[in-house]
C-alpha cells in the first residue's frame, strides 16, 4: 500500500473490514434501506407475476433504440431526483429543528436528529445527486428521445455507444445508492473541498465513492456528447439545413459541445485527487508542493460550464413549448441560435467567480465579474425572444405552457440575483451564505420547471396518451407554492447572514423563516404526490387520453410531430424531406399532413446487444473494487472490460434489414389503429390523422398570415 490507511485492509476483501465497525442502528438509514429493499422486492415480484423478465431483457435492458434509452435515462433521473429530494427534506427538517442552544437532540445528535457527520454526507449527496444524477440524465434523456426525431433521423449515429453511455450513468447512480448502505458517502460538499477530501482528513471510503461515481458517470456523459454531436452533424434528413434545425436541437448541440470539452477537465481534477488518495501524490495537499486552489480551479473550469450544460437544453424546451402554445413561429430564430452558442462560449470564461473571495487581485476579479455579467446579454436576448413569440400570439395554457411561463419568471429572478452575485463587492458580503444557495436553486428550478414542462409536452409523443391536466395543474401550483415558500425565505436568510451547510443554527431569530421553509418543503412533498398521482391516473385512463393523430397539441411545429404517436422503433417509415424551419407547421398550413408515403423501402437497423449492459456491470464491479481498494477485483474487471470490447469488435452480426413489405405491414397496422381510434370519437380527426389533409381546429393561422 502506497499510502497509510487507517483501519483494516486485506488482499481479498480490501477495506471491507471497515464495515465491521459500523453500527447499523441509525433508524434514518434503516428506513431508507427498508424502502429500497421492499421496493426492489415488489418490483421483482411484479415482474415475475406478470411474466415480464423476458420483456424487460429483450425490450429494455439490451435495447439500442434511442427512444427507449432516453426513457431509461429520464427514469434514472427521476428516481435519483426523488432520492435527492429526500435528502433535501432531511436538510430542511434538521435546520428547522436544530435552532438555538435549547433545541433538543435525538438519535445521537446534540441538536436535531442528524449528527454533523451524517448531515454533511446528506448535503453532499443532495448536491451531487441533483446536479449529476437527476438533472443531467433527465436532460440527456430528452436529447436522446427527441433530438434524433427532430432532425428526421432514424437513429443516433452510434446506437451501441448510446447504450453504453446510459449504463455508465446507471453505474454512477448505483454507486451512490450503494454508498447509502455499504460504508458512507463524502462529507466534503458536492464540490469536494480540498484538502478536506485528502486521505488524512477523510480517511473513510466516502470520498472514494464520490470520486468514482462522478468519474464513471461523466465518462458516460462524454460518450453521450460525442454521439449527440455526431448525430446532429451527420444524420440530418435531406433539407434539414443548419438554418432549419429546431432550436432544441441547436441547444443540444451547444450543450454537448460544453459537455465534450468540460467533462474531461473534471476527469483530470478527480483523477489527480484519486492519485493523491490512492498513491500519495501531492497535487492538492496542503504541504510538499501541493496546491489546493488548483483543485478548485480545475473543478470549476468544469463546474461552471456544467451549469450551462444543464441550463441550455432547458432553454431549448422553452423554445419548443412556447411557440406551440402561442401558435406562432419562434421570434428571432437566428438570435436564439447565436445566443445559445454565445452562452456556451462565455460559460468557459467565468469559473473564477466561484471563488471571488480567495484573494485574487482586483484585476482578476474584475475580469471575471465582467465576463459573468456578459452571460446576461444572450440570456436577455432569449427572454425577449420568448416574450415576443407570445406577443400577439394565440395563447393557450395547458400544463407544459404553465411550466414554461414559471420557468421564465424563475429565469428573471435567478438572473437578477446572479447579476448581484457577479459583483465582487456584493460577493464578499454574501459569500457562502444561503443567498448563494437560493440563487443557484432558483436557476436549477428553472431547469426543473422546463423539464417538467417537457415531460408534459412530449409525454403524448413518446407514450401515445396525454397526461391528466387537472392533476398536472395541481402539481404545478403545489410545486410553485413550495418554491416560493422555500426560496424567498432562503434569500432573506442569506441577507441576514445565515451561512450554508449549517447543521446547527445558532440564531433563534432565524427560526420563523426556517419554519416557513419547512412549510414550503411540505408543499413540495405534496406536489411529488400529485405528480405520482398524475402519472398513475394518466396511465389508468390511457385509453381515454389516447392521442389519435401524430400531433398531440395540434399546433406543434417541428419534425418529431411528423411521425406516428408513439413513434415506431424505426422513427420514420420513409425519411422525410424538409422544406421549412417549422416543417410540421408548414405541412399543416399546406394540407400536406398525410403520413402515408407512396411506397416503402427496406430499413437498416442495429441489433439489440447485451454488451453495453455487461460492460456497465463490469464497470460497477470496478468502481466498487476501487472504492474499497480490492485491487484484484479492480484489475480483473478492468481487464474483463477490455476483453469484452475486443470480443465485441469481432462481432460482424450487428445489424439487420427490415424488408419493405414488412415495413408496409407495420405501418398499415399503426394507421388502421389510428383510424379506428379516430372513428370512435365524436371530434373531427385532429392532429394529423392517418388519412390525409386536415385543418386543425386550433390552427387558424392560415387566415392570419399577416403579422
Partner 1 sequence: MSSHATAPVDPNNVVLWDYEDHGHDFIGTRSIGFWLYMMSDAMIFAGLFAAHGVYVHNFAGSFTANEVIHPINALWPTLFIFTSVLIYGFGMVALKKGSRSGVINALLLSFILGVGFLLMEYREFSELAAMGAVPQVSGFLSDFWVIVLTHAAHVFFGLIWMAVMIVQIMTNGFTQNNVYRLINLKLFWHFQAIIWVCVFTFVYLMGGI
Q: Rule CB under 8 A: which of 128-147 touch partner 1?
A: none
CB-nearer residue toward partner 1: 11 or 243: 243
Number of residues that bind partner 1 (CB under 8 A): 72
The answer to whether 221 touches 263, Cβ cutoff 8 Å, is yes
Q: Residue 125 Cβ, how far from partner 1 at the closest point, in Å?
A: 26
Shortest separation between residue 289's beta carbon and partner 1, angstroms = 3
Torsion-angle region of 588 (φ positive above 0: left; ψ -120 to 50: alpha; else: beta): alpha
CA contacts within 13 A on the Cβ side of 107: 18
Rg of the chain's alpha carbons, rounded to an integer?
26
Residue 262 engages partner 1 in binding (rule: CB under 8 A): yes
Q: Is residue 4 a contact point for partner 1 (CB under 8 A)?
A: no
Nearer to partner 1, 238 or 700 (CB): 238
Strands 655-658 vs 603-606: parallel, antiparallel or unpaired? antiparallel
Please tell me the distance from the alpha carbon of residue 592 to that of residue 294, in angstroms, as a whole number.
59
User: Helix, strand or coil for residue 25?
Assistant: coil
Contact between 294 and partner 1 (CB under 8 A)? yes
The answer to whether 160 contacts partner 1 (rule: CB under 8 A) is no
Which is closer to partner 1, CB of 227 or CB of 527?
227
Instruction: Say how far apart CA 392 and CA 423 lie, in whole Å.
Output: 37
Residues 6+ apart with CB under 8 A from 478: 523, 524, 526, 527, 530
State yes or no: residue 659 binds partner 1 (CB under 8 A): no
200 binds partner 1 (CB under 8 A): no
Backbone angles phi, psi at 449, to 5 degrees: -60, -50
Taking CB under 8 A as the rule, does residue 158 contact partner 1? yes
Scan residues 666-705 and list those touching partner 1 (CB under 8 A).
Answer: 693, 705
In the set 165, 217, 246, 290, which binds partner 1 (CB under 8 A)?
290
Output the smallest distance, CB 24 to partner 1, in A. 36
In the list 32, 191, 226, 675, the residue contacting partner 1 (rule: CB under 8 A) is 226
At 105 the three-state DSSP class reads strand
Q: How far is the CB of 229 from partner 1 (least distance, A)?
A: 6
Q: Which stretch binds partner 1 (CB under 8 A): 13-21, 376-384, 517-525, 594-602?
A: 594-602
- Residues numbered 348 to 407 that lie near partner 1 (CB under 8 A) are none
**Using CB under 8 A, which of 191, 230, 338, 373 touches partner 1?**
230
Distance CA 141, CA 221 (A): 11
* CB 301 to partner 1: min, Å: 7
Burial class (CB in 10 A: 0-12, 13-18, 19+), 84: buried
In the list 134, 139, 229, 478, the residue contacting partner 1 (rule: CB under 8 A) is: 229
Neighbours of 290 (CB within 10 A): 18
- Tell me which DSSP letter residue 330 carries: P
Restricting to residues 329-348, name those near partner 1 by CB under 8 A: 329, 333
Give whichever of 291 and 492 is closer to partner 1, judged by the CB atom.
Answer: 291
Cell digits for 665?
405491414
Tell me the β-bridge partners of 488.
none
Contacts to partner 1 from residues 458-517, by CB under 8 A: none
Position 568 contacts partner 1 (CB under 8 A) = no
Please report whether residue 263 would count as binding partner 1 according to CB under 8 A. Answer: yes
**Binding of partner 1 at residue 194 (CB under 8 A)?**
no
User: Of 233, 286, 420, 661, which lies in the binding site for partner 1, with binding defined by CB under 8 A?
Assistant: 233
Binding test (CB under 8 A) with partner 1, winner from 335, 589, 648, 675: 589
To which residue does cell 470520486 refer?
211
Q: Of 581, 626, 663, 687, which lies in the binding site for partner 1, with binding defined by CB under 8 A?
A: 581
222 sits near partner 1 (criterion: CB under 8 A): yes
Beta carbon nearer to partner 1, 140 or 498: 140
* Rounded CA separation 185/194 (Å): 16
Q: Which residues of 218-245 are buried (b: 16+ CB within 10 A; e: fewer)?
A: bbbbbbbbbbbbebbeebbbeebeeebb
The CB-of-434 to partner 1 minimum distance in angstroms stands at: 32
Q: Which stretch binds partner 1 (CB under 8 A): 67-75, 455-463, 516-524, 583-591?
A: 583-591
Q: How far apart are CA 213 and CA 332, in angstroms?
A: 41
Write b or e for each residue in 43-82: b if 16 or more Cβ atoms lie within 10 A of its Cβ, otherwise e: eeeeeeeeeeeeeeeeebbbbbbbbbbbbbbbebbbbbbe
Is 574 a binding residue for partner 1 by CB under 8 A? The answer is yes
Candidate list 291, 492, 511, 525; residue touching partner 1; CB under 8 A: 291
Using CA atoms, how far apart are residues 205 and 202, in angstroms rounded to an integer?
8
Amino acid at each position: 500500500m502506497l499510502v497509510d490507511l487507517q483501519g483494516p485492509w486485506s488482499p481479498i476483501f480490501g477495506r471491507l473490514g471497515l464495515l465491521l465497525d459500523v453500527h447499523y442502528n441509525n433508524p434514518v438509514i434503516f428506513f431508507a434501506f427498508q424502502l429500497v429493499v421492499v421496493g426492489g422486492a415488489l418490483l421483482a415480484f411484479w415482474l415475475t407475476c406478470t411474466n415480464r423478465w423476458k420483456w424487460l431483457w429483450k425490450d429494455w435492458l439490451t435495447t439500442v433504440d434511442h427512444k427507449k434509452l432516453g426513457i431509461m435515462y429520464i427514469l434514472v433521473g427521476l428516481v435519483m431526483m426523488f432520492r435527492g429530494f429526500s435528502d433535501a427534506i432531511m436538510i430542511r427538517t434538521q435546520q428547522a429543528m436544530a435552532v438555538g442552544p435549547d433545541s433538543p437532540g435525538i438519535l445521537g445528535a446534540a441538536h436535531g436528529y442528524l449528527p454533523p457527520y451524517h448531515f454533511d454526507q446528506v448535503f453532499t449527496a443532495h448536491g451531487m445527486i441533483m446536479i449529476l444524477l437527476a438533472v443531467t440524465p433527465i436532460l440527456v434523456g430528452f436529447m436522446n428521445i427527441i433530438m434524433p426525431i427532430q432532425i428526421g433521423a432514424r437513429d443516433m449515429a452510434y446506437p451501441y455507444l448510446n447504450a453504453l453511455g446510459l449504463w455508465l450513468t446507471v453505474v454512477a447512480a448505483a454507486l451512490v445508492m450503494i454508498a447509502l448502505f455499504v460504508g458512507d458517502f463524502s462529507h466534503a460538499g458536492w464540490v469536494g473541498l480540498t484538502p478536506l477530501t485528502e486521505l488524512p482528513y477523510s480517511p473513510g471510503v466516502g470520498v472514494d465513492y464520490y470520486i468514482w461515481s462522478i468519474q464513471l458517470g461523466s465518462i458516460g456523459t462524454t460518450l453521450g456528447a460525442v454521439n449527440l454531436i455526431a448525430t446532429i452533424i451527420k444524420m440530418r434528413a435531406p433539407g434539414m439545413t443548419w438554418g432549419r434545425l429546431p432550436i432544441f436541437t441547436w441547444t443540444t448541440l451547444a450543450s454537448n459541445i460544453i459537455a465534450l470539452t468540460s467533462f474531461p477537465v473534471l476527469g483530470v481534477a478527480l483523477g489527480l485527487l484519486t492519485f493523491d488518495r490512492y498513491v500519495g501524490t501531492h497535487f492538492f495537499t496542503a504541504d510538499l508542493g501541493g496546491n489546493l486552489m488548483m483543485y478548485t480551479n480545475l473543478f470549476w473550469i468544469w463546474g461552471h460550464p456544467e451549469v450551462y450544460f444543464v441550463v441550455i437544453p432547458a432553454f431549448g424546451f422553452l423554445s419548443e413549448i412556447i411557440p406551440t402554445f402561442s401558435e406562432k413561429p419562434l421570434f428571432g430564430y437566428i438570435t436564439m441560435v447565436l445566443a445559445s452558442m454565445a452562452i456556451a462560449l462565455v460559460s468557459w470564461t467565468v469559473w473564477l467567480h466561484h471563488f471571488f473571495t480567495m484573494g485574487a487581485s482586483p484585476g482578476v476579479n474584475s475580469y471575471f465579474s465582467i465576463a459573468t455579467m456578459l452571460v446576461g446579454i444572450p440570456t436577455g436576448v432569449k427572454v425577449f425572444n420568448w416574450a415576443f413569440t407570445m406577443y400577439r400570439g394565440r395563447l393557450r395554457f395547458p400544463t407544459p405552457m404553465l411550466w414554461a411561463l414559471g420557468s421564465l419568471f424563475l429565469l428573471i429572478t435567478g438572473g437578477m440575483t446572479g447579476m448581484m452575485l457577479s459583483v465582487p463587492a456584493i460577493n464578499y458580503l454574501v459569500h457562502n451564505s444561503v443567498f448563494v444557495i437560493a440563487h443557484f436553486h432558483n436557476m436549477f428550478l428553472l431547469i426543473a420547471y422546463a423539464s417538467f414542462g417537457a415531460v408534459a409536452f412530449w409525454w403524448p409523443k413518446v407514450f401515445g396518451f396525454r397526461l391528466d391536466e387537472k392533476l398536472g395543474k395541481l402539481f404545478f401550483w403545489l410545486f410553485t407554492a413550495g418554491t416560493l415558500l422555500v426560496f424567498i425565505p432562503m434569500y432573506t436568510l442569506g441577507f441576514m447572514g445565515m451561512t450554508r451547510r449549517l447543521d446547527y443554527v445558532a440564531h433563534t431569530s432565524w427560526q420563523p423563516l426556517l419554519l416557513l421553509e419547512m412549510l414550503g418543503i411540505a408543499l413540495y412533498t405534496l406536489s411529488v404526490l400529485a405528480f405520482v398521482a398524475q402519472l398513475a391516473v394518466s396511465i389508468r385512463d390511457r385509453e381515454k387520453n389516447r392521442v389519435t393523430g401524430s400531433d398531440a397539441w395540434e399546433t406543434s411545429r417541428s419534425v418529431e410531430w411528423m411521425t406516428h404517436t408513439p413513434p415506431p422503433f424505426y422513427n420514420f417509415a420513409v425519411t422525410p424531406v424538409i422544406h421549412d424551419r417549422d416543417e410540421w407547421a408548414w405541412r399543416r398550413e399546406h394540407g400536406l399532413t398525410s403520413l402515408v408515403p407512396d411506397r416503402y423501402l427496406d430499413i437498416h437497423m442495429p441489433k439489440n446487444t447485451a454488451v453495453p449492459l455487461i460492460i456497465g456491470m463490469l464497470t460497477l464491479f470496478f468502481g466498487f473494487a476501487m472504492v474499497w481498494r480490492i485491487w484484484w477485483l479492480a484489475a480483473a474487471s478492468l481487464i474483463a472490460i477490455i476483453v469484452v470490447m475486443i470480443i465485441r469488435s469481432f462481432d460482424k452480426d450487428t445489424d439487420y434489414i427490415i424488408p419493405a413489405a414488412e415495413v408496409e405491414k407495420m405501418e398499415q397496422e399503426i394507421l388502421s389503429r389510428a383510424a379506428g381510434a379516430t372513428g370512435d370519437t365524436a371530434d373531427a380527426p385532429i392532429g394529423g390523422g392517418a388519412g390525409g389533409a386536415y385543418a386543425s381546429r386550433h390552427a387558424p393561422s392560415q387566415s392570419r398570415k399577416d403579422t
